[in-house]
Chain A
Amino acid sequence: MRMPDPDTDVIARRARIARDLRRLVPDGSSNSPVGEGVIVDEDELRAYECDGLTAYRQPPLVVVLPSTTEQVSKVLRYCHDHGVKIVPRGAGTSLSGGALPLADAVTLGLGKFNRILDIDYDNRCVVAQPGVTNLGITQAVQARGFYYAPDPSSQIACSIGGNVAENAGGVHCLKYGLTTNNLLGLEMVLMTGEVVRLGGRHLDPGDLDLMGVVTGSEGLLGVITEVTVRILRGPETARAVLMGFPDTTAAADTVAAIIAQGIIPAGLEMMDRPAIHAAEDFVHADYPLDVEALLICELDGPEAEVDHLIERVAAIAHDNRVVSLRASADDAERALFWAGRKAAFPAVGRISPDYLCMDGSIPRQALPRVLQRMTEMSRRYGLRVANVFHAGDGNLHPLILFDANVSDELERAEAFGADILRLCVAVGGVLTGEHGVGVEKRDLMYTMFTETDMAHQQRLKCAFDPGQFLNPGKVFPTLHRCAELGRMRVSGGAVPFPDIPRF
């Protein structure tokens, strides 16, 4: 993976930069919880050298850990004026290398922004600092029966700011939407140090939807310093059905039929045989082991609705050759059904020294075809693959198993992964459903977009950060200067009068 050439001049100024930053973000005193403001020690920097995409590592120039918006503003202004790049970082769980440091960039960690600022039940929202964990939001409101719907599997660790930056999803997004659909407002610091507020506790923008485009922008447009998210009252009841199938086609047909009948489950997840076995060995969820595919379908609402829908789902499954079917009797059993699915990544981590987690999205109807092709590729590359999917919305997570200590296995795994993503695009899908482009899918962007498409995205970047200081080397395969991107070739009179119907 090629990253932009580090600026040797900036690296040479490292000590000076660290000293200046320390002035802007002083260490807390020994009796204050604020802790270290700037990290320069090489051993300590190593803790920041990668995110969840551990195949790539690079210690940052320095790490700065501000605790107020004002400090963030000063740090960005300083870096802007001194030509220093910034990599924003939440909890570092990105699976696409979005928070991968650069040798000549300051990593700006938001870990100290860990407070919930307001819980507003009447307006059904929570205002939080970006470093609060995803689960932390739900935990803050669950005593009153509320929760925050988007639930990435990493929810105990990942930050709400990182969720906004990646537009994270989770199993409940089929019914309740992704981060972008549950976000009401945010505060953001631009590279110039200017602070802007987008949205609030009300709905919809009063002008251009800048919040919509900042969500999922992977730290390239600004540093998020506060978020306001929508909370929901939990459903009265929720039950899950665990269904085993003799082949993945039968499972995929069941998914299609559930949706076609107008049922939108709270979650609808699929696992294939290798994933089922890995998860069962790890958490003992009592999954059936003699099936090729497993579906977990969760229904929520009033008891009358849930019982009614469970019967309908069961009938659909029976029409589609289900071989084992169990509905959860209580919340403990429902949690157990999910435990295996939620732990699928670490479970696979136990059966293979390394794995790559892919994240393509496809139209649901293409699922059997894509699985078939993936099996062929697995044979060709000589690497095993385990599959977990957000089946309800067509988001695949093939986990490619490999051993980085065996020569060329990482390269083969990456080539295999790239082939899967190209296949997703070829069947009408996209490169990434929820994990982001980062560095991982950066060089595949042209399989989905033209030069012109990409230039429109890059010009938007230029409107926010014309110096391209924020998270360079991510998302865009080629870096163009903003001046070059903005140039337009129009000459008066050179274009013939257009031959278009006029009235």
Chain B
Amino acid sequence: MSQTYRPDTPEQVADLITWALAESTPLALRGHGTKAALGRPTNTSHALDLSGIAGIVDYAPEELVMTARAGTSMAEVRAALDAAGQMLAFEPPDWRPLLGQPHGPADPPGTLGGLVACNLAGSRRISAGAARDHVLGIAGVSGRGEAFRSGGRVVKNVTGFDLSKLLTGSMGTLAALTELSLKTVPRPETSATVLVLGLDAADAVQAMTRALGSSHEVSGAAHLPAAMAARSAVAAIAGDGRAITALRVEGPDPSVAWRCQALRTELTALGPTEALSHDDGAVLWGEVSDARLIADPADAVLWRLSVPPAQGARVLAAVRHGVGEGHLSGWQMDWGGGLLWLALAPTPEAHAGAVRDAVAHHGGGHATLIRAGADVRAHVPVFQPQPAPLAALSRRVTESFDPKGILSPGRMAEGR
């Protein structure tokens, strides 16, 4: 019978994994389960729920570091950061709406460990890095049933291999995370968002490239085509009816005002510009980071492509051509064109060939199948397939932590 185990201590996690090893019983790792539909479906009868290993252990705002147990709710993490006027710079997205999860105020928001295990980041990724750039230290229990640590609580640290980076984004395959130390940063005093209106994808990439190549420290560069922009909760955007290319600047008041004006002047040749207030901007960047506006229709398959930013429009055109007119139901660009979200009509192959060919022919990168039925995710590689020597290396790395394939086996690739 299928069981969910919910240990309260890291010692219990180690006991459980040791038991699972002895019984050759693979475990599916989870926090609140908000991202359970990410990755390949695992063939496991039991689940290891880590949300009981919870609580902030140490948060010293003046040291810019928070240490928390991996199962700590993101609501608790956010509340503590808010109280100190700080944030996680990588702008953790909330993918619950996208993944069809309940996302009301009372619903579980996801755990810190889940966020780190998936290495998620929002729009500020282009200037501040991803989750992996902010994890300073990690404690976990590997697939050998052994508790171990890596890293520490300080920003500068090269003592031994940086296992924190490897475990970040490992989707529960290498180790059950039990404790994390993350870098925190002060919230910017204010922000402003410049909108360039009515650009097509190619011109949008040009505008974003220009802005990101300027000295204005742009911390968000995204593009929504008209059909997506119309869905925005920001009245000024939805009401306008045109596509928007959005560029965010953050910092002290005088600096933001100056940079906002400078960007408008520099981009005016490309199209008409508007400026969004800090509050409207916050709504927009939330929508973009969470990819909320492309979530509908719920049966569309969703791809997330990371490509060289200046290639964004070309990759998009190649996908549109490859999947055939009418199959692309929605899209948006973030990270200056480097992050392409695509909503495609559902098919058994999820258009994987066309999507991955488009990436391969335009400078490389990777395509991840974020949303599709479990049957599709079971046979279409969810993560970018690797060349043979690299795939073999990845497998050896996984086996070095989890030799018996006990932890979420098959979540990342067949057999690991």
Contact = CB atoms under 8 A, between A and B. Distances in A.
A450 B306 contact: no
Given A196-B389, A457-B163, A500-B6, A495 B148 contact: no
B413 A501 contact: no
Contacts of B76: none
B386 interface: yes
A169 B392 CA distance: 32
Interface in B254-269: 254-255, 258-259, 262
A289 to B, nearest CB: 29
A204 interface: yes
B255 A200 contact: no
Interface stretch (A100-108, A302-310, A324-332): A302-310
A363 B156 contact: no
Given A180-B162, A233-B214, A453-B148, A363 B401 contact: no
Kindly name the residue among A198, A302, A304, A463 whose own CB sees the greatest number of chain B CB atoms within 10 A: A302
A166 B254 contact: no
B231 interface: no
B43 interface: no
Given A180-B162, A233-B215, A501-B7, A302 B310 contact: no
A209 B62 contact: no
A309 B253 CA distance: 11
Contacts of B399: 463
B366 interface: yes
Contacts of A463: 393, 396-397, 399-400
Contacts of A362: 154
A16 to B, nearest CB: 29
A206 interface: yes
B252 A452 contact: no
Kindly name the residue among B6, B187, B366, B367 whose own CB sees the greatest number of chain A CB atoms within 10 A: B366
A500 B154 contact: no
Interface string B1-43: 0011111100010011011011110000000000000000000
B145 to A, nearest CB: 8
A195 B365 CA distance: 18
Contacts of B12: 498, 500
Interface string B110-134: 0000000001010001100110110
B209 A260 contact: no
Interface in B336-376: 338-339, 363-368
A475 B160 CA distance: 7
B5 A501 contact: yes
B158 A166 contact: yes
Contacts of B61: 260
Contact of A123 (B24, B185, B254, B308): B308
B82 interface: no
A294 B3 CA distance: 61
Given A305-B254, A463-B399, A501-B6, A437 B155 contact: no
B150 interface: yes
A470 to B, nearest CB: 13
Contact of B364 (A200, A428, A435): A200
Interface string A429-458: 111111111000100010011101111110
Given A486-B403, A495-B22, A308 B252 contact: yes
A502 B4 contact: yes
> What DSSP secondary structure best describes chain A's contact surface?
loop
A429 B159 CA distance: 11
Contact of A207 (B161, B209, B311, B384): B384
Contact of B398 (A169, A208, A492): A208
A204 B166 contact: no
Nearest to A207: B383
A256 B412 CA distance: 42
A456 B157 contact: no
A236 interface: yes
B154 A195 contact: no
B413 to A, nearest CB: 7
A433 B255 contact: no
Contacts of A204: 119, 121, 125, 130, 132, 169, 306
A375 interface: no
B242 interface: no
A429 B154 CA distance: 6
A152 to B, nearest CB: 12
A499 to B, nearest CB: 8
Contact of A213 (B165, B212, B338, B368): B165
A301 B126 CA distance: 18
A201 B156 contact: no
B142 interface: yes
Given A177-B133, A436-B158, A456-B148, A365 B5 contact: no
A432 B158 contact: yes
A406 interface: no
Contact of B400 (A145, A305, A459, A501): A459
A365 B60 contact: yes
A210 to B, nearest CB: 7
Contact of B212 (A124, A390, A462): A124
Contacts of A450: 148-149
Contacts of B142: 456
A336 to B, nearest CB: 23
A502 B48 CA distance: 10
B85 interface: yes
B166 A208 contact: yes
Contact of B255 (A121, A301, A429, A502): A301
A69 B162 CA distance: 26
A195 B157 contact: no
Contacts of A209: 119, 132, 165-166, 168-170
Nearest to B388: A194
B306 A498 contact: no
A216 B162 contact: yes
B274 interface: no
B129 A145 contact: no
B154 to A, nearest CB: 4
Please list the 9 inter-chain residue pairs (A to B) with the smallest Cβ-Cβ separation, ordered nearest first: A212-B165, A206-B366, A262-B186, A305-B255, A206-B384, A433-B156, A122-B310, A202-B365, A201-B308
17 contacts: A196-B387, A203-B126, A206-B306, A206-B365, A217-B161, A361-B152, A361-B157, A363-B153, A365-B63, A428-B152, A428-B154, A432-B157, A436-B158, A441-B159, A453-B149, A460-B400, A463-B400
Interface of A: 120-124, 145, 166-167, 169, 173, 177-178, 180-181, 190, 194-198, 200-210, 212-213, 215-217, 233-236, 256, 259-262, 264, 301-302, 304-305, 308-309, 361-365, 390, 393-395, 428-437, 441, 445, 448-450, 452-457, 459-464, 475, 486, 488, 490-503
Interface of B: 3-8, 12, 15-16, 18-19, 21-24, 49, 52, 60-65, 85, 119, 121, 125-126, 129-130, 132-133, 142, 144-150, 152-163, 165-166, 168-170, 185-187, 189, 209, 212-217, 251-252, 254-255, 258-259, 262, 306-311, 335, 338-339, 363-368, 383-384, 386-387, 389-390, 393-394, 396-401, 403-404, 412-413
